[in-house]
Copies of this chain bind each other. A is one copy, B any other.
Amino acid sequence: MRLSRYFLPVLKENPSEAQIVSHRYMLRAGMIKQSAAGIYSWLPLGFKVLKKIEGIVHDEQIRAGHIPMQMPTMQSADLWRESGRYEAYGQEMLRMKDRHDRDMLFTPTAEELITDIFRSHVNSYKDLPLTMYQIQWKFRDEIRPRFGVMRGREFYMKDGYNFDLTKEDALHAYNRHLVSYLRTYERMGLQAIPMRADGGPIGGDYTHEFLVLADTGESEVFYDSAVTDLTFGDREIDYDSVEQCQGVLEEFTSKYARTDETHDAALFDEIPEERRRVARGIEVGQIFYFGTKYSEAMGANVQGPDGKQSPVHMGSHGIGVSRLLGAIIEASHDDKGIIWPEGVTPFHCGIVNLKQGDDEADAACEALYQALTAAGLEPLYDDRKERAGGKFATMDLIGLPWRITVGPRGLKNGVVELTSRRSGESEELSPEAAVQKIIEIYAKHPSSRGF
């Protein structure tokens, strides 16, 4: 993309309404624009990151054997009356009547609807296990939306639902989700720690939240510092293997790590003092096993191998897709702007032309642009007639992890400058070597394969 043809309305001033850094930078970098309290438009740069994150979530869910589909945002109230949640949900549910005076709602979550789909089509254990998920807009009418996309009213969420014959099978689905979530967050450059959580209004005995450590987190968290040494890395996993998935769960949940909701001071005190940590965290996902809560209420039964009918065992598993943009920025920024991890960056690298209009500099930038594009990468070429300082400030603010700077002086020596946004370090390289290095970097961060 050539910046002269893009829509990137960066702001010079800090917007007064933004209290936390991610909100501030998302507004300043022209990623979002508020249209009503807690409701945002995703401007082109923000939309690109949102889609990168969505792509990674899809990849990892599909890899785990979970099946993508999509449910509508508008639902009839009837299903929610079956489960008893229509009245229970309270004012956070946005309700309305259609032109025929029927009660409708904007779905905040979809246990009822997916259970209805299941009971309409599945009635035998032979069709199990089954896990389906969607990534769809949700609405929660927060009384006080704030912190930008971190606590908005309209938000983008992945919600998945497993259906299994037995509790044991459902716990394997639970473990599969835990593993796939670990992979998902790591591909985004995030460390998200699974912490024992509270079931809340969805219910459930088995539930973990995934928290990203950040000073601006809404939750107080207590953990054994050994937990932050764990990484999933690029190990192979067979998602069908009960043992392997259980092993990962045990590895990642064996250390103490809890939010204030489930914190147990006595257990915490058993951790060696030098490893005890109290910090804040941002919740970016949650997995639940809640057994037969919805299947019993809604009559979602399956016939077992013994011919007997029993309610199906279920769980639901969420990732806050739009909220992740905020979480990633909270975890990865400096005083100049955002620092995108390679896995989610909207453009793979920036190209800054120090002397737009200079034939040689223009030609060199153009050649870099073509070479990177031909390699399947997407550069953002700042081809505007602006001062170098302004171009650097924009690149730093929007946080592309790599920048190639091209100027007449370097070109005389046959070099351009490759700069890491994260370390700030630069090296001089031939244009070909710079392209090669960018290609090598992104070979480790494959794009989402999509559908």
Contacts and interface: CB of A to CB of B under 8 A. Distances in A.
Given A9-B121, A36-B75, A113-B35, A69 B44 contact: yes
B52 A113 contact: no
B450 A55 contact: yes
Contact of A448 (B104, B120, B450): B450
A40 interface: yes
Contacts of A5: 65
Contacts of A47: 68-70
A86 to B, nearest CB: 14
Contacts of A67: 6-7, 44
Contacts of A451: 48, 51-52, 55
B96 A154 contact: no
Interface string A123-137: 000010010100001
A429 interface: no
Nearest to A52: B451
Given A48-B451, A96-B96, A116-B35, A73 B73 contact: yes
Contacts of A41: 69-72, 113, 117
Given A132-B7, A141-B98, A76 B117 contact: no
Interface in A64-93: 65, 67-76, 79, 91-92
Contact of A74 (B30, B65, B121, B139): B139
A33 interface: yes
Interface in A18-55: 30, 33, 35-36, 39-44, 46-48, 50-52, 55
A153 interface: yes
Contact of A117 (B43, B91, B95): B43
A122 B8 CA distance: 10
Query: How many of chain A's residues touch chain B, expressed as a range?
Result: 35 or more
A374 interface: no
A447 interface: yes
A308 interface: no
Nearest to A102: B36
A99 interface: yes
Q: By CB atoms of chain B within 10 A, which of A74, A75, A104 has the most?
A: A74
A143 interface: yes
Nearest to A122: B9
Contacts of A36: 72, 74-76, 102, 104
A94 interface: yes
Contacts of A448: 450
B96 A69 contact: no
Nearest to A127: B7
Contacts of A76: 35-36, 39
A162 to B, nearest CB: 12
A106 interface: yes
Given A47-B70, A67-B7, A450-B448, A39 B75 contact: yes
20 contacts: A33-B120, A35-B76, A36-B74, A36-B76, A39-B72, A41-B72, A41-B113, A51-B451, A73-B154, A74-B154, A91-B99, A92-B99, A94-B96, A94-B104, A99-B141, A99-B143, A106-B106, A137-B137, A447-B450, A448-B450
Given A40-B72, A47-B70, 5 more contacts: A6-B67, A35-B72, A41-B70, A74-B139, A99-B141
Interface of A: 5-7, 9, 30, 33, 35-36, 39-44, 46-48, 50-52, 55, 65, 67-76, 79, 91-92, 94-99, 102, 104, 106, 113, 116-117, 120-122, 127, 130, 132, 137, 139, 141, 143, 153-154, 447-448, 450-451
